[in-house]
Amino acid sequence: MCMKFSELILNWYDENKRNLPWRLTKDPYKIWISEIILQQTRIAQGTSYYNRFISRFPTLESLANSDENDVLLMWQGLGYYSRARNLLFSAKHIHNDLGSKFPVTYSEIIKLKGVGDYTASAIASICFEEQTPVLDGNVYRVLSRIFELENPINLSSSRKIFKEKAKSLMSAKRCGDYNQALMDFGSLVCKPQKPLCGSCNVSKLCKSFINNTVLKYPVKTSKNKIKTQYHDYIILTKDRKTLIVKIEDGIWKNLYRFPVCISEKKQSKLYLQEYFKKKYNSSKVKISLINQKFINHKLSHLTLKSRFWNINIENNVAKGLFVSDFTDFPMPQLMRNFREKYKTKLSIF
């Protein structure tokens, strides 16, 4: 089955592969950038970010010689900002410690900060033709349907089983093309809800197609409950400038946002006034709601329900970063969306 399957997948790829900018090169730096961007981003959105990022940082050396604020600005809107911080860290490591020579084997590539099994396998196979299969959501879905695998794909214990299956199907030639073919095939043919089984050139080898169980796969265990947090931001202005603060930790580390009260439950206006009164050591604080409905911002593990308030504080807040131009300050998408929506009502933006 192994040879026949790989031949069929590669034949399909030769006729149907997507025209993507990172497929025009074998430069490991550019493949690395594309893979990190696409970890949590759809190709349609990721392509424009890839082109913009490569235009700004065309070589590993240019990225290594940049600073974090520049990188975060280019990453702004993609989310999962630890990816950008890890890219910069590893670029500096390769440039300073490895003589700007990108690692050429899976075992060395995976040592880079922010690089896991999938990314290391993709770079090693695409750039250096190492026989290292990739596992992403598309590959899990194809393999689980081909073999009717009951192992839940969201359990770490299943990874080894899928990895072995993937390798058993992989030919020793065109390893990079094969990995990309399998991912494209899963995205374009072996779709989650409406797979194109009628036009699938490997359906005769697919156990779930033969047994009419395609939509049963892949198997997943119940997801953990997604938590909810309430974020109440204040818009504090002075001399037509707005106060922003740098985020010290968490997923948005080193980005900027408006001052905030974070809670596990919805807080009252009175509570928030007292909170900011204490925060700014003021005898009197008044707040007024800007958005009447919560703005929901969904992350993989968390839903943020956000409100924004205008605030008047009796004493003068001297400390903090007051800005009139946000261009040089990377901010989470939530802040950018708020500014865009309310810029006509709040002339400070």
Q: Which two tokens stand for residue 3?
A: 């040879």
The pairs formed by 219-223 with CB atoms below 8 angstroms and a separation of 24 or more are: 219/144, 219/149, 219/150, 219/151, 219/152, 219/153, 220/152, 220/153, 220/154, 221/152, 221/154, 221/155, 223/154
Strand 227-235 and strand 302-313: the pairing is parallel
* CA dist., res. 66 & res. 235, Å (int): 31
| Annotation marks residue 274 as catalytic | no
Catalytic residue among 15, 35, 68, 314: 35
3-state SS class at 238: strand
DSSP secondary structure letters along 275-332: HHHHHTT-S-EEEEES-SSPEEEE-SSEEEEEEEEEEEESS---SSEEES--TTS---
Looking at the annotation, which residues are catalytic?
A: 35
